[in-house]
Amino acid sequence: MKKISRYLFFIALLAVGLAGCKKNLMDIPNENDPDLKKVLGNSQDVEKVASSLFNSIFHGEHDFTGVQMMMAVAADHATCSWGNAGMRDMSWEPRDFAWNNSPSYGNGAVLKATYDKMYAAIVNAGQVITRINDGMQIGTNGADNDRTLAIARFAQGMAYGNMALLFDKVHVVDETKTVEPVLATALPYKDVAAAAIAYLDKAITLSNSSFTIPAAWLGTPADISSADFKKICNTVAARILSYTPRNATDLAAVNWAKVKTYADAGITTDWKILMDGTSKWYFEAGDYLTYPGWGRTDMYVVNLMDPTQPKHWDDSPTFPHPPASTNPVDQRLNTDFEFLASNDFLAARGYYHFSNYRNKRYDAIYVAAIGEKAEVMKAENDLLRAEARAYTNDLAGAAAIINAGTRVTRGGMAPVAPVLADIVKAIHHERHVELYTTGMGIQFFEMRKLNLLQKGTPLHFPIPAKILELFRAPIYSFGTTAKADGTGTSNAGWR
């Protein structure tokens, strides 16, 4: 382990390329660093940094320039043949195009953008914690210290959680941890997930205090009590544990009792973001995944709602355009989706991109990007609760949660029986239909852990090439049917 000066250099490298970053994003937690004390010289400065932490994470998840769109098409959740944001390159069939981790690859910016924004939150959270640990009092006599520390620990946990879900390995650093700036010190995704949970546990403990988080900090319609913030932290922890598995073997090794504990203490209402008509709080990727002329609903998902619809659009000019469904088993195909009688994708890029439906559920709020949309739905937490019960042999409990939820109340579907295979199938269905565009990569993580990503699809992504260059490390990647090993690249798939 090197001295702190080397650590400063390492994090500065990680922060390279942050769009619009301020000097404080480059300054690293170091209680003996006069620059940090100068930049965060008073409690207002510290609170201002704390207030922006989640927004950085939010942008990493939902920007057009992030990974959400290409993950949606890689999962056969949405479909789009356009070359933007890596979508075309991640949806070729067969999947014989690896993730292009060349430094010159234009769409490689989407991976690095998400990587950078997560580390921006991590670095700033460390600064906040360092200043408080150094004696900074937030609020009168430190009355707001717990609130500020809780949001910082939450940011560390959520950012590292996202990194564990996305990347094969990353470096874990904070206000106390230093590492050599070389690839060998990066931790594998399971260790990163464990670190994320530890940070969230600290946020949960801090939330036992009584405080209120201003709505602007989380982009919510109203202020959040510490009790409700604690629920959010628990849900995020449950999500990380459930979504981290790369394959069915990983899935079987999940501590489902722990998932149950977190999810049962999780959110009881939707965690909503109030889109404000600006770029600050805007579910941009979700907009493009549903906007007419852009993303459509993959036939795989259409078929879930109406099994009479084809599960795949054959790569042929003679494949007949399916008519509108008349009697879907899931009524949300009528309420949440719109039938389209023609296609506007380029046939030369593959007819398999074609679809006859798009999602319309959020059209009204996307007109001006103003209105409430869930970052995490209560329905998502309910599915985590059901999933944890299913994998801990409480099949009746799992079925009861599902049957009290959106499958029946919105979909009008038949209640699911207390049978493991049926419950897993029902959860899979809801994650594709009810949770449409509400989270970064939910459907990718779902397909991944059930061995359903098409053969040759990356199961996770490499550290971005431009970062590897800074480490003087070899460029590596995942993907293609030739490299389908089931650990870095899918070797199974639904078709």
Output the pLDDT for position 16.
38
Q: What is the pLDDT of residues 51-93, one digit of tens each?
A: 999 999 999 999 999 999 999 999 999 999 999 999 999 999 9
Which helix (H) or strand (E) segment holds residue 271: the answer is strand 271-276
Residue 337's contacts (CB-CB under 8 Å, 6 or more residues apart) are 297, 302, 305, 357, 358, 359, 360, 361
456-491 as b/e: b if 16+ CB within 10 A: bbbbbbbbbbbbbebbeeeeebbbbbeebeeebbbb
pLDDT band at residue 167, thresholds of 50, 70 and 90? very high
Encoded tokens for 165: 């879900």
How confident is the model over 117-146, as a mean pLDDT?
A: 96
Q: Average pLDDT over the chain, rounded to whole?
A: 93
Domains annotated on the chain, with CATH: 4-285+372-377+435-483 (1.25.40), 291-360 (no CATH)
Closest CA to 97 of 466, 453, 473, 483: 483
Share of the chain above pLDDT 70, in %: 93
Question: Which amino acid is present at 437?
Answer: T
User: Mean pLDDT over residues 98-121, rounded?
Assistant: 96
Local confidence band at 37 (pLDDT 50, 70, 90 cut-offs)? confident
Tell me how far apart the alpha carbons of residues 189 and 164 are, in angstroms, rounded to a whole number.
Answer: 5
pTM > 0.85: yes
Helix H or strand E encompassing 339:
strand 337-339
Confidence label for 347 from pLDDT (cuts 50, 70 and 90): very high
Contact 434, 402 (CB under 8 A): no
